Structures are given as C-alpha cells and as structure tokens.
Chain A
Amino acid sequence: MDFGSVLNALILGVSIASIWLIAALGLTIIYGAAGVINMAHGALIMLGAYSSYMLQHYVGVPYLLCIPASFVIVAIIGLILERGLIQYLYDRPLDTLLATYGVSLVLVQGVRLIFGSDPKYLAVPEIFSSNISLGFANISTFRVVVIAVTALLVLALWILFYKTRFGIQVRAVMQNKEMAASFGINSSRIYMMTFALGAGLAGVAGSLFGVLNIVLPTMGDSYVVQAFLMVVAGGGTLAGTVIASGFTGELQSVFAFITNDTFARFVIFLLIVVFLRFRPQGLFAKGGVRR
C-alpha cells in the first residue's frame, strides 16, 4: 500500500465521482425544482446513449457532436413526457414516482423492440481511447473527458441558476410556487423547462456512459438508485449533489481499493442510509415550503 497506489485510488475516485454526479445532475434539477421523483431517469440515460448511437451509426455525426445532439433529443422527449403525463401529477408525488416507472418500462421495452437486446457500441475518436500517465497515476483519456464534461455542465448550470433571469424564476418557484405565481411567473412553464433540461442532462450522461460501458436497453437501470441517493443526500440542491457525489466517489474508490467493488457499493449504500437517518434533509436543505 504505497503512496502511489493511494494517489491512484484518489484520482480514480474523482473519476467515479464525476460519473455519479453526471448521472445525478438531471435528477437534481427535476427533483429540486419540481419535487418529482423521476424513475424514468435511467431510461432517459439509455435514450441518450441510443440517440448518440443512431446519430453516429446512421447519420455519421462525429462523437463530440453527438453529445449536444443527445441533449436536444432527450430534452424534447422529456418535454413531451412532461406535457403528456407529469404535469397532471405534480400534487401527487408518490404517483409521479409510479407513473414514471411505468414510462421507464415502456421506453426500455420500446427500445428493446426496435434495436434488440444485443449490445451496441459507440465509437470515439482515436485520442480518447488512450491512457494518460502522470508518472504515479494512470487514467484513461475518456475518463478525463467525462470529468471535463461534468465540470463544464456544473459550471453552466450554476450560471443558469444563479446568473440568469430564468434561474431566478426557477428558484422562486422552488421556494414558493404560489408566491412566485402571484409575481407573474408561469410556474407550469418553469416546471416544463426544468423537466426538459433535466431530461437533456440525462441524455448527455447517456452519450458518455455509452462509451464507458456498452449500450443496452437496460443500461440505465443501475444508475437510477445511486443517482437518487446523491440527490437525496445532497438535499436536492446543485451544490449538495456535487459534494455528495464527490464524497461518495472518493469513498467508493478507497473502499474498493481496500476490499472489492461490489462490497464498496454495499458499504456506500449503507453509509448513505445511516447518514440520512441523522440528517434527513440532506447536506444542504433548500429553503422554501415544499415537503
């Protein structure tokens, strides 16, 4: 257990954290703003991967352009979903959870019918498939790309939520929907936009996960629970999710270094449940009247 391998584990931790975080970003937006437990998030991640695959395979779009394109495609799907179903269920949070699970069943099975259950692969530019060596630590270039994209997205979201008019409106609706409405903010439209935004972020995550793993109809399922834990542990705020993901990523890497990957996941899940026992509101509880 020398210094180099510990450092390596810590750097790998950053990479794991970025994966946890990017999977949870869209959920944070949707849960934080609208209080919707979106069980279809995994299916939206999967759709992001499949849209990238389709664009790349049938249209020949270069991979780096597939990422924003997936954002747009999945955001549109999210928009349709919100208008067609979610908007009727905002005052029934448990029912949104169930309805979105139904949506995820339909989406996963629909994709399986169209594309089959055999794995698809996303091709990436040559430079991404190499390794970066920092002397003491080794990390694949693509993982660095994931970290970079995640950091960019967090920055963009921060600017969007704290520096723009739209962000102020979203936060106003988050804190008190009725009061915001009385100031002329169309809360229904805000919910619609945030849902589409959250879905789009799932699309980006999917186009990245499609490279890290293989593209399968069920690929999103495993991310849903862990993404929720990040959101819940973070308290539904952007900063909370970032910090919760950072911590758990590092912890998982360290535990995996000591024991093995599966056991590390078990310990993490258990620790989060214990943590939430003592701090049910999460790391940073948001102000406001919801809940």
Chain B
Amino acid sequence: MNTKTSAKGVGTDSETTMGNPYHNKTAQWIAYALFFLALAAIPFSVDDDFLLNQLATYGVYGMLALSISLCWGFGGILNLGQGIAFGLGAYGMAMTMQMQTQTAENPIPPIMLNNGLDYLPFLWWPFQNTVSGLIFAVGIPTLFCAVFGRIMFKARVSGAFFAIMTLAMLSAFYTIILDQQAYTGGVNGITPPSPLQLGSFQIDPYSPAAYWTVFFALLIATVIAKLITQSSFGLVTQAIRDDAERVRFLGYSVSSYETTIYTISGLIAAVAGCLWVMVVQYVSPAQLDVGLSISMVIWAAIGGRMSLLWAIIGAFLIQGGQSYLGDAFLSTWLLILGGFFIVVVRFLPNGLASLVEAGLGMLASKPKETSFREPSGVKPVPSE
C-alpha cells in the first residue's frame, strides 16, 4: 500500500510541473495514438505487397527496440543478448510452421533426412501441434529469461557485467544452433515451405493480414509496456535504474524487479521472433548473431531509450535508412551508421527524443517565461 501512495506522489508531481508537453501523460498517450493511427493508415494507401511485407518486418524491429527500451531505458539493464529470446522464438515458430506442412506419410522434415536422422527428435515434438508449438515458441525463451535473469540478478550481476554475460549466452546459443545441424538446420536454418496456417486461415506474408498481425502485436506490446512504466512497479524499476543500492535499502527485492522487467522484455522479443518468421518465412542462426542484438540496442539508443515510442521510431529510421539509403551509399552505410551512433552516444545520450523534449520544452516555456519564474516550488527533482 505504501508503495502505491509514494508512486502516486511522484507521478502527480511531475505532472503538475509540466509546461513541457513531452512530460504530460495525456499528451504522451495522444502522441502514441497518432503514431499508431498513422501506421494503421499505411495499408490503405500502399498497394505494393512487397513494400507492405517490408513494413511488417520494420514493425517486428520496432517491437525489439521497444523491448530494449523497456529493459534498458526503464530498467537500467543493458541487454546485449536480446537475440536469444528473439532467435528462440523465431526457431519455435519456424519449427511449428515446418511441422504444419508435414503430412502423415511424410512426417520427418527434410533437414533431418538430409542429415541422416530418420525420426523426429524429441526437441521437435511440441511443435507438431500448432497451438502447443506457439505456446512453446513464446514460452521457452520467456522461461529462459526468467531463469537466467533470476540466476544473474540474485548474484547481483548488473551493469556492464550483465551485458557481457548476455553476450556470452548469446554466443553460446549461436554456437550450439550452428553446430546441431540435424536439429536446427545448421547455418542454413529452417525455411518452412508454406505460410502460417491458423485454423482454416492462412497468413500470407505478402498480404495485409500479415501487416495487421504485426501492427496489433506492436500496438498491444506498446500499450502494455507504457502501462507498466506508469505503474508503481514501473516506478520502482526506474528507481532501481537510478540507484539500485538505495532501493535495496528501502526494502524492495531488487532482483525480483529486475528479473520481472527482463522477462517481460524477453517475452516481447520472443513474440517478435515468432512474427518475424511469420513475415519472412525463414530463420537462421543470423537471428542470434551478436551484431543483430547490438543493432537492437543501437535502434533504441538513437531513437531514445527513455521513450518507448522513440525507440520504435529509432528502429524504423535506421532499418528504413538501411534499406533505402543503404542502396544509395552502398558500402559507406555502416560507416555513416557507426559515426552517427558515436555522435549520439557522446552528445545525445537520450537519443533523438531528447531533441524533441528540448524543442517542446522551449516552445512551452517561451510565452510564460516571465510569469513562471517565481512560483516553481514544485520543480521536479532533477534527473541525473
């Protein structure tokens, strides 16, 4: 109960002091609504199936950036191994889709037959049924995050140390998936021959249906994440980010909060993994590549890790830039991205969002500057 009131206090405090609409909750929800309305308008104005499919993959990247923002921006947990949850989710989905195309007279997927395995390995059993396959595809990575997070956070591994541990786990998974060719398809991965079948409904990757699925997943994930950050749980998490030791002394179980936020973030990434395979019909160890996982962090960092919405926009901007500018600049794209990233980290630690924040702040304070000078006894505590 006590947590509730204190949380409320902090929330209203920053609300009454606004002036900067960037910090106004209502304004934030309006911005989110406008953003999703714009995304919802796209299928009505775009007639190109290929483009729609590409935009759907951006939606998946947006979900990944969202999960990083939740975990790193709000929880203070830098996770360089988000590819584990994403990749395991993707493999689960690919296995489910592969098993959907296997028939009674042909029950063994070709990757096994090609590798001299004439039975279905036990690892694949849950994926024979679509429902249980989907449950496992999302459940296994989530469970992994819960267990791994619990082990690490209980030992008070945090900060850069945790980042390196996640990197190590990611490399371990990458290696084992690459190695176990008969189970995972090795370097070639799994390419399910036909789209995802849900009941009698088929989600063709090159159709608006796939786009809408990703859209609603992103929408739901964003709303849930936003609600989490505004809840008292979210406030404690943010307090841990700012000073874990102090929160621990206040009697909170820091490791439980950290594990929970890390697991939720992993769950979102696992769902993103499933959607990714639904959209591209393909999975390979590249989804667990170190580079991809760090890219997710780059998206969130450039957009603004402290803002869920801007993290998503960061993913859109960079992946969009990669697709469109990448063709124009060809080999210099990574050079530009790397340089841009360095500049953002050095000068804009909160990403492009902080530019918007500053801009809105200036707009809001300008006309009132003279009258607002004195009565600001309600100034929020300066954030570090």
Query: Are A272 and B168 CB-contacts (below 8 A) given A88-B346, A221-B290?
Result: yes
A225 to B293, CA, bound (A): 13
- Identify which of B40-48, B125-133, B225-233, B335-343 touches chain A: B335-343
* 0/1 interface trace, chain B 158-171, chain A, CB 8 Å (1 if under): 01110111011101
With an 8 A cutoff between CB atoms, is A178 at the interface?
Answer: no
With an 8 A cutoff between CB atoms, is B31 at the interface?
Answer: no
A231 to B156, CA, bound (A): 18
Q: Do A277 and B339 touch (CB < 8 A)? A: no
With an 8 A cutoff between CB atoms, is A229 at the interface?
Answer: yes
CB contact list, B166-201 vs A, under 8 A: 167-169, 171-172, 175-176, 178-179
Q: Do B172 and A266 touch (CB < 8 A)? A: yes
A265 to B172, CA, bound (A): 7
With an 8 A cutoff between CB atoms, is B236 at the interface?
Answer: no
CB contact list, B20-34 vs A, under 8 A: none
* 0/1 interface trace, chain B 347-366, chain A, CB 8 Å (1 if under): 00100000000000000000
Contacts of B164 in A (CB 8 A): 37, 225, 228-229, 232
Query: Are A269 and B168 CB-contacts (below 8 A) given A98-B345, A263-B179?
Result: yes
Q: Do B297 and A228 touch (CB < 8 A)? A: no
Q: Do A262 and B175 touch (CB < 8 A)? A: yes
Nearest residue in A to B176 (C-beta to C-beta)?
A266
With an 8 A cutoff between CB atoms, is A21 at the interface?
Answer: no
With an 8 A cutoff between CB atoms, is A89 at the interface?
Answer: yes
With an 8 A cutoff between CB atoms, is B332 at the interface?
Answer: yes
Question: Nearest chain B CB to A286's CB is how many angstroms away?
Answer: 14
Q: Among B165, B294, B334, point to the contact of A109 (Cβ < 8 A).
A: B334
- Identify which of A72-80, A99-107, A194-202, A208-216 touches chain B: A99-107
Contacts of B156 in A (CB 8 A): 280
A102 to B301, CA, bound (A): 12
* 0/1 interface trace, chain B 273-302, chain A, CB 8 Å (1 if under): 000000000000000001100100110010
Contacts of B163 in A (CB 8 A): 37, 94, 97
Q: Interface centre among A102, A260, A263, by most B CB within 10 Å? A: A102
Interface size on A, residues (CB 8 A): 41
With an 8 A cutoff between CB atoms, is B5 at the interface?
Answer: no
Query: Are A105 and B341 CB-contacts (below 8 A) given A112-B331, A263-B179, A277-B151?
Result: yes
Q: Interface centre among A85, A260, A263, A280, by most B CB within 10 Å? A: A280
Contacts of A95 in B (CB 8 A): 345, 349
Nearest residue in A to B334 (C-beta to C-beta)?
A109
A270 to B157, CA, bound (A): 16
Q: Do B335 and A109 touch (CB < 8 A)? A: yes
Q: Among B157, B168, B331, B334, point to the contact of A105 (Cβ < 8 A).
A: B334
A277 to B164, CA, bound (A): 13
* 0/1 interface trace, chain A 275-290, chain B, CB 8 Å (1 if under): 0111010000000000
A101 to B165, CA, bound (A): 17
Q: Do A109 and B168 touch (CB < 8 A)? A: no
Query: Are A262 and B179 CB-contacts (below 8 A) given A93-B159, A269-B168?
Result: yes
Contacts of A7 in B (CB 8 A): none
Q: Do B178 and A273 touch (CB < 8 A)? A: no
Question: Nearest chain B CB to A96's CB is how many angstroms away?
Answer: 8
Contacts of B272 in A (CB 8 A): none
With an 8 A cutoff between CB atoms, is B1 at the interface?
Answer: no
Q: Do A106 and B157 touch (CB < 8 A)? A: no
Q: Do B335 and A106 touch (CB < 8 A)? A: yes
Q: Interface centre among A98, A99, A262, A278, by most B CB within 10 Å? A: A98
Q: Do B335 and A92 touch (CB < 8 A)? A: no
With an 8 A cutoff between CB atoms, is B104 at the interface?
Answer: no
Q: Do B165 and A98 touch (CB < 8 A)? A: no
Question: Interface on A for B, CB 8 Å cutoff?
Answer: 37, 85, 88-89, 92-95, 97-99, 101-106, 108-110, 112-113, 221, 225-226, 228-229, 232, 260, 262-263, 265-266, 269-270, 272-273, 276-278, 280
Known A266-B175, A269-B168, A273-B165; further 18 A-B contacts with Cβ < 8 A = A85-B342, A88-B346, A92-B349, A93-B160, A94-B163, A98-B341, A101-B298, A102-B298, A105-B334, A105-B341, A109-B338, A113-B332, A260-B179, A265-B171, A269-B175, A276-B155, A277-B157, A280-B157
